[in-house]
Structure formats: C-alpha cells, structure tokens
C-alpha cells in the first residue's frame, strides 16, 4: 500500500474511527479480573493514540510532500550505487560531449494527484553513480507546432529536507500556477525538472560530492541535466538553465548555481541558509572542510579573490532569521557580473512552510523570465 496513496489515507481514517468506537462500546463491558480489564482498556487507549498520530502524520506528509515511499520513511531504500572521487569539476575526467546520448523513456507520474502533465522516469546516473526518479513537466508551448524548432529553458526545482521530488508539483502547485501564466505570455515557457534529492538514509547530502558516500552534486548538475538535454528539446546553454529551491533546497540552488556558472545562470533560494550546518542532518555541515567549501559565501568570496566572479544571478527571499540575512550576506559580496536580488518576507506570512513558498511561485518565475533566456 502506497504511503501517499488514497487507500492508506482512507485506511488510517477507518482505523481511527474504530479506535474511538471501541472504548465507547466496550469500556464497561470488558469481562474478567480487574487487572485484565485494565490492560485491555490501556491497549484500546494506546490504539487510539497510535491511529490518531498516524492520521496526523499522513495529513502532514501528504500536504507537504515530505516522504514519497515507505523506503524513504523507514530509511530502507538505496540510491547510491557508487561514489567515486570525481574531482573538482564533478566529472571524474570524463567529457559529457564524448558520452553517448541518454534518452530516457518517461511515463505518467505514479501519483494521480500530480495530474496528467507531470511525467517521470527512473534514471541511473552514469557519472554520479546515483539512481533515482526524475519528474518533468513540459510547458504548454512544447507540443505547439509553432514551437517545434524551439529549445526551451529549464529550471531544476529542489525540495527541502526531508522532501519529495514531486513537492513542487504537489504542495507548491507550480505547474498549475504557471500554466496560465505561460499561455498568456506573463512568464517564459520553462521545462520544470524535479529530481530526487533524498539519496542517503537519514541524511541531507547538502548537494555535495563525498567520495565513498554520495555524489549528489554530479547527480543534479551533470547526470540529470544532460539527460534532460538528451531527451527533450532543452537548451544546453548555461544561460538557459536555473535552479530553484526552498529550505535545504534553497541552499543547494545557491551553492550549485555559484559553483557551476558553466551549467546554470540563475538560482532561486527561498528560506534558505548559507552555512550547511544549519541543517543538522547535513553531511556537508558535519565535515569541517566541506562545511566551508560548500557555503555560498565562501564560493563567491573565493571566485572574487581569483578575479572570476561568476556570471550568476541569484534571487534570495526569506523572513528575518529564515533566509533574509543569508541573502544580504551574498548581496554584499556580489561583484559584476554576479547579481543578487533579496526580498524580505514578512515574519507573519506563514513561517517556514509550503504556504509561503507556494505564494512566491509566480513572482520567482517572473524574475527568472527576465534572467534566463531560451
């Protein structure tokens, strides 16, 4: 039974109703010694508590797309087949242009709540050694004959931790919000790509490469990116690619965009942070060297010192204490051609929740339309 499916949701409701009905019907009718009656009543109360907690968990999980599968929840899944040392460029001495094309077969998304336009595939990363699902939504213009020769810009959308790859199409409703905006020309027709980011049991990867552990950076910026270029009419120019994320995904979006200006031109960071140790489960935050090297402030400062400020545009939003100061720090360091736009979210807007990030979707894609070209 699927963790996020309707059958499990309905089952949890039925079990809670039974758990409430049992003590009402049987409390005074339980036969036997006093100790046995007390034990059975305690069991009924515990059953009611467990079913109530289960239903609350299901409601929260389905609303926020935290865990996709039982494997994700229980930590029994494996998505890392190998984690070789791929070097500073994340390619391990290989050249993407010399690799054979990796055209993936796609199928309708396995969650009917996402709608018929979201499709998915199971990708085995040839460079990273990571395997996982990738969801793709194509803009309404993609199948329009007038655009048959057009290569489209792409945005990789990243969730927080824990988080499901389909969260941007689920709790954030990005596709539903953007479709009419694309049709009326308010925003550009972007391809949205949502790769799995929950790769290591019980840990946030911080979107870094760790030899022997996981190559999360190369998974997102090399394998997923190239698969999209090979499979769809997607531009391969850095100026046509962007990353967008919230919470832990915001940290990843800023870090990856600044680290790979040859692959991405823009990054969106909503309610994120610069120091990876801000996420207590971050593998990068627990490693003293990686903690420094994967901090967007350090990446930008190092590039500036080398006389090579990245040709990267960042949009950072957040409330005070929840991303806003991180954006101010980046903006203070930015030197042309780097640019950083910072927006402060009111502290009473809804906190660190999908409600806040969902409401920003139209605005961030208007901004992307001005900074990302086809």
pLDDT digits (tens, 9 = 90+) for 286-331: 999 999 999 999 999 999 999 999 999 999 999 999 999 999 999 9
Half-sphere exposure for 86 (CA within 13 Å, toward CB): 25
Q: Provide the H-helix boundaries in the chain.
A: 6-26, 34-64, 70-74, 174-183, 216-218, 225-231, 248-259, 283-286, 288-293, 296-305, 324-333, 354-371
Q: For residue 228, give both structure tokens.
A: 């999209």
Could you give the CA distance from residue 77 to residue 67 in angstroms, rounded to a whole number? 12
pLDDT digits (tens, 9 = 90+) for 96-144: 878 889 899 999 998 888 878 999 999 999 999 999 999 999 999 999 9
Please choose, from the candidates 132, 95, 139, the residue with its C-alpha nearest in 3D space to the C-alpha of residue 117.
Answer: 139
pLDDT-above-90 percentage for the chain: 70
The SS3 of residue 154 is strand
- pLDDT score recorded for residue 67: 66
- pLDDT score recorded for residue 62: 61
- pLDDT score recorded for residue 336: 97
- pLDDT score recorded for residue 231: 98
Q: How far lies 295's CA from each of 256, 273, 321, 334, in Å?
A: 10, 9, 17, 14
Average pLDDT per block of 10 residues along the chain, 374 residues long = 67 80 77 81 82 78 62 63 86 84 93 88 96 97 95 98 92 96 97 96 94 96 98 97 98 98 98 96 95 98 97 98 98 98 95 96 98 90
């Amino acid at each position: 039974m699927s963790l996020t499916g309707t059958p499990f949701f309905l089952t949890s409701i039925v079990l809670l109703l039974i758990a409430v009905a049992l003590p009402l019907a049987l409390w005074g009718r339980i036969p036997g010694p006093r100790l046995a009656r007390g034990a059975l009543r305690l069991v009924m109360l515990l059953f009611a508590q467990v079913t109530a907690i289960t239903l609350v968990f299901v409601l929260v999980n389905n609303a926020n797309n935290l865990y996709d599968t039982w494997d994700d929840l229980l930590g029994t899944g494996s998505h890392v087949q190998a984690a070789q040392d791929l070097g500073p460029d994340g390619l391990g001495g290989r050249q993407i242009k010399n690799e054979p094309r990796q055209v993936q077969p796609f199928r309708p998304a396995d969650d009917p709540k996402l709608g018929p336009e979201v499709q998915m595939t199971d990708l085995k990363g040839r460079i990273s050694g990571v395997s996982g699902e990738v969801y793709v939504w194509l803009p309404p213009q993609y199948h329009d004959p007038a655009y048959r020769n057009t290569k489209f810009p792409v945005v990789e959308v990243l969730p927080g931790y824990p988080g499901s790859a389909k969260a941007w199409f689920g709790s954030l409703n990005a596709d539903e919000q953007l479709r009419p905006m694309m049709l009326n020309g308010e925003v550009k027709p972007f391809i949205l790509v949502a790769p799995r980011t929950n790769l290591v049991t019980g840990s946030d990867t911080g979107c870094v490469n760790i030899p022997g552990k996981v190559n999360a950076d190369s998974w997102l910026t090399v394998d997923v990116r190239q698969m999209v270029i090979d499979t769809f009419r997607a531009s391969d120019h850095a100026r046509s690619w962007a990353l967008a994320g919230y919470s832990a995904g915001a940290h990843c979006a800023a870090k990856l965009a600044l680290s790979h200006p040859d692959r991405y031109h823009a990054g969106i960071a909503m309610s994120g942070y610069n120091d990876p140790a801000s996420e207590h489960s971050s593998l990068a935050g627990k490693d003293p060297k990686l903690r420094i090297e994967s901090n967007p402030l350090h990446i930008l400062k190092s590039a500036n010192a080398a006389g090579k400020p990245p040709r990267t545009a960042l949009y950072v939003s957040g409330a005070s204490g929840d991303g806003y100061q991180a954006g101010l720090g980046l903006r203070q360091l930015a030197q042309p051609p780097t640019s950083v736009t910072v927006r402060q979210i009111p502290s009473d807007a809804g906190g660190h929740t999908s409600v806040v990030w969902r409401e920003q979707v139209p605005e961030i894609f208007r901004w992307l339309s001005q900074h990302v070209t086809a």
